[in-house]
Chain A
Amino acid sequence: MSTAPGKTPVVSPVLAEPLTGTLIFERGAAESRCVEVPALDVPGVSLDEVLGGRARIAPPVLPHVTEVELARHYEHLASANFGLDTGFYPLGSCTMKYNPKIDEQTCRLPGFARIHPYQPEETVQGALELMWGLQESLAEIAGLPAVTLQPAAGAHGELTGLLTIRAYHTAQGDPRVRVLVPDSAHGTNPATVAMCGYEVVQVPSDDRGGVDLEALYGLLDTDVAALMLTNPNTLGLFDENILEITEAVHSVGALAYCDGANMNAIMGKSRPGDMGFDALHFNLHKTFATPHGGGGPGAGPVAVTAELGQYLPGPIVDRHDDGVFTLVTPGRSIGRVRSYVGNFGVLVRAYTYIRAVGGNGLKDASEQAVLSANYLKSLLEDVWPVAYDRACMHEFVMSGGALRKATGVRTLDVAKRLLDYGIHPPTVYFPLIVDEALMVEPTETESKGTLDRFASVLCRIAEEAHEDAGLLHGAPYDTPVRRLDEAAAVKGADVAWRPDGAEA
């Protein structure tokens, strides 16, 4: 057992209870119960009879635990997790901003949490009004008038947007075959393009980190359905040529799709619709402070031009002149992309956030996010070379390439060492076009003191790399577990616990 340098174990490692590793299946006893079911108050039935011979023969093996064991189990697991309330979480492109507590309260109001999607519309007017209000706010922020709240996540929004574009081209009698995606794009972009049946063509970046205009012009022809672009892009840079880019895309009859992952940089400052984009997805779990939940749920509403609005998936909330809200499906809709109305619980949180900070607060958030990123960059750039050295937006990308060359310490080692300092690492090895990339997004919800400390820690780690590379290769030391064997995970393929003796 290794320990952090300078630390002495205060209890016997034999007697220390590890936070994790013991499965819920391994706790409790056969007779332990947490939730019990009331005695049946209607006549019993023979299950096998009423189910026509489909009654279960061998019961599933689920845990047998008391509530106290459950409470401790998950408290231990939680304490082995790093969340936003734990500390600084500067994950580039993920916008790990603070998740307000009031959001968690409003989404749990029975009038939201216990309404069924098939209730008559007159019984859910409050829910529909909330959705309508959110649609309106997102349309205003995007500068694109038609909004669907249905997509469940960012990648799902991409799928929705691209299928909408596909439907548009098909309706023009001009189905196209290719979609252009910059080399700095998120992996979801090319994956979405492939799911929509298009061929992916990569557009190179220029030496200022934007789309290479000449290369773009060379790739545009009437077989191109769309360009998918993140702006500000994944390098944290606003594409200076954005108007030329969208104009060129339109000149060949293609459409411009904006990946809205980085909307936290530009709320109230610049709108994708005004940049010439035809479609955009939001990530409510990034820009509008809804929690990431350890991987989800998110929500990925899509905003499009009036012309594309007729193809959006339904249902969409419509407000009638008499103030009544109804759900409608656009006339030439691509069809649903999921069941029911969307991730409503996430929509309630995002609506709550938008009403909490208001229009000016959204602009303040973007301004502070950009200032904080530039401030942090200024503290770091002497030690950590920034990939494209110009004013960044809400995030910036540093390269650990020089450090690796000098010391053999990789960005991965730096990330793991940050964990020992109680800081979640930035996004690493993305975007792919930067060697040993570290992508830092502080967000507006961090104090100056937090940013100062982060910069000091990263500079200290760079020193450590020169002093003792081995220290970094071995990091982390002070986490619930240390580096995990990922190759063994694939080889063992242990992806589900089974009762003793059961064969996989």
Chain B
Amino acid sequence: MPPVSSPVGLRFENIDKRYGGLLALRGVSLTIAPGECVVFAGRNGSGKTTLLRIAARLVRPSRGTLSFSGDSTGGNENTVRPGFVAHATMVYDELTAEENLLLFARLQCVAQPENRVESLLQEVGLEGRRASLVRTFSRGMRQRMAIARALLHEPSVLLLDEPATGLDPQGVTWLAGTIRLLRDSGRTILMSLHGESEISSLGTRAVRLDAGSVVADTRTGATFRSILTFADA
């Protein structure tokens, strides 16, 4: 995994997100340094997914601002394109693995898209199924496709919303190895997880959300663990 030339940080300032009568996020303020690997924990509906979708700029906050900092282009939000792995795989069932990745590589103007797709298919272990339609894939294989799609343009910021969903134990080990490489290459990683796992141990910071608010935020051992396990620190 090539190192990132200019790591990017994020700054959420007083973010609210309202869906009709439901306040999904309440005054969330967080500054994430370039190269940090942040684990978001919290019960279902605590606002983790909404926060990641705001970071991906798929959802516009009702109030507050999101800014990126530290990249060579001055942190202009339009120049930072995070890689995003969501609950849904975000790939087309009717296209083959190779067609899917080529489609998104071309849309993102990736240089030499065929070579990039080839190397990613090998990295995620799907080179033998390149010509198979994604609808014939198992959940774990689809998740590998989702991760490959998110990495196509070698993003400086990675947003992973429960990335281990559907992966078998070997898949989780592979994913943990991949995230470790990405973290060590200087990429900023924000991921939402449920509980402690091989993947959560890669985090350098843990943030717990509850009912749309940040209720705990730490970088240290014992508190870090309690945030992930929902135990009182």
Binding partners A and B: no
Which A residues fall within an 8 A CB radius of B?
Answer: none
Which B residues fall within an 8 A CB radius of A?
Answer: none
